Every structure is written in C-alpha cells, then in structure tokens.
Structure 1
Amino acid sequence: MTTLSLDIATRLATAGLEAADAMTVPMNIAIVDAGGHLLHFTRHQDALLGSIDLAQRKAKTAILFRMPTATLGQISRPDGPIYGIEWSNGGLVSFGGGLPITDTEGNVVGAVGVSGGTADQDVEIAQACLAAL
C-alpha cells in the first residue's frame, strides 16, 4: 500500500468505533492521508463536540511529524528540545490519541486521530484502528 484508500480508512474507523463501543466511550475518529488532508471522519452521536477538532488535529499532528502525538508531547514539555511547537502549523495536539499509519514497507501513508475519552482511552482506540490493517 503506497497510498491510503477510502476503503481502508473506513475499515480503520469502523474498528475504532467498535472498540469504543466496547469501552462505552463515545469517540470522534479522523483519518487523514499522507498530506494531512481529511480522508474519513466518523463519530458517535454522543461524542463531545469539542473533540471533533481535536481528533482532526491529532491526526494532522501525527502525519506532519510522523510520530504519535504522545511522543511529540514528551519532547515538547517546557524542559524539552521543541517546547512551544504546538503553536506551529495552525495548532498541534501534543497529547495521546494521534498515530501515524504506515504501510508494509514502513512508509507513513496517513494518520488516525481519536478524541472523546481520556488521552489513554484515545490512544487505545487509535491502536484498535491500526490493528485493523
């Protein structure tokens, strides 16, 4: 897979919704392509409205820096080497819930962003999305 198709993005998001259902936590799930553009978005009806933007920004952050948003958060703390980076690129998210999507050759082809629960819950759902690859 060199590009992320809508069919694959839909499959990933569906897996995330199912995992969120099992946790009984309403979630917003965004999938972006390699350029950071929204490819697929879905949400539970009762998911927090403020988390719509967070899910999309988490996905965009993960693709722009090709790393989990939680990792970016670790290195952007006040004593970190890139403190303040979250103010760049129109606003980044530097806590858990965004993960890059890689193909079988290790190329980053997109990203998933999940928001609606705690950061740990968001990460768990994002990982469930990737497990559907």
Structure 2
Amino acid sequence: MKQKPYLSLDDVKRIAAAAEAEALKNNWPVTIAIVDDGGHLLWLQRGDNAAATSAVIAPAKAKTAALGRRDSKVYEDIVNNGRTAFLSVPLEGMLEGGVPVMVDGFCVGAVGVSGVKSNEDAQIAKAGIAALG
C-alpha cells in the first residue's frame, strides 16, 4: 500500500500563523481558510474587520485549489479567457486566492484567503505555505 504525507495540526497552525503575519504586516483584513486534500475545513480564521462574506469565499477558494491541485486562479483565467461553459463545473471559489499545499508531489491540502485584492489574497496564502519550508 502506498503512503502519502498529510497536514498535521502543527502544520496547519504554522501555515495560519505565517499567513496571519503577512496579512497583519500589510494591514489587510482577511479570512484565512486551510483545508485537507479532500477540501475539508481544518482551519478558519476571520480577522478583525474582514467582511462577513470572506468567511464563505476563503474556504471555497481553498477547496477548489485542493480538489484541482492547482491555484484557483487557473479556473478564473479559464472563464475570463472566454470559456464561460466552465461556469457549469460544480466548483465554488473559482477566484484567485486559493493555493494548493504540495509535498513530495502530493497535494496535502490548500489555503484560501479572501478579503483584499485577489493577488493579495494569493500572496497571503503563499506566505502561509512557505512556513512549511
């Protein structure tokens, strides 16, 4: 039987702390969501002054990135480049700001961020993931 890595609670806490630090450094009010490889929520943190809707959007971005094993921006780009039929795909969160966590070629989860510009959301997610080393 094959084995694969997974996100431990300590890993999740490290990602969350680093993502929060990036958001605070830039004074960005966001929600940070971390999911496992199946898109199941492991962590949700809504920062002070983050919009209520960000608590729905961040986990959706994370789930999309985990299930697709790629940045959620890929799906946004597909739609923006004219393939509107892709909107019928049963995924939510097809906006930039969801980033998969890849370890040894395996997707072990993803981070989704919502609350500021999409590229800034992605910046926060990537800063969190970078804490894993």
The alignment's TM-score, normalised by the length of structure 1, stands at 0.89
Consecutive aligned runs of 4 or more in structure 1 exceeding 4 Å deviation? none
- Cα RMSD after superposing both structures: 1.5
Separation in 2, partners of 1:9, 1:51 = 19
Alignment pair present for 1:45 and 2:48: yes
Kindly indicate whether residue 116 of structure 2 is the aligned counterpart of residue 117 of structure 1: yes
1:77 and 2:80 correspond: yes
Aligned residue-pair number: 129
Checking the alignment, whether the CA contact within 8 Å between 2:78 and 2:86 is kept in structure 1 is no
**Partner Cα distance (2:87, 2:82) in 1:** 14
Deviation digits for residues 16-52 of structure 1 (CA, Å, limit 9, x no counterpart): 1110001101110000001110011112121111111
Q: Is the 8 A contact 1:16 1:29 kept in 2?
A: yes
CA distance in 1, matches of 2:42, 2:120: 23
Residue in structure 2 matched with residue 93 of structure 1 by the alignment:
93
Matches of 1:131 and 1:109, distance apart in 2: 14
1:60-71 equivalent positions in 2, closer than 5 A? 60-71=63-74
Q: Is this contact kept in 2: 1:98–1:111, CA < 8 A?
A: yes
TM-score (norm: length of structure 2): 0.89
* Preserved CA contact (<8 Å) 1:100 1:108: yes
- 1:87 deviation in Å? 4.1
CA offsets, 1:77-120, max 9 Å, x none?
Answer: 3623xx3434433x4122210000011x1110000000010111
1:126 partner letter: A
Percentage of identical aligned residues: 39
Tell me, yes or no, if the aligned pair for 1:86 and 1:92 is still in contact at 8 Å.
no
Paired with 1:96 and 1:54, the residues of 2 have a C-alpha distance of: 11
- Tell me the SS of whatever aligns to 2:16: helix
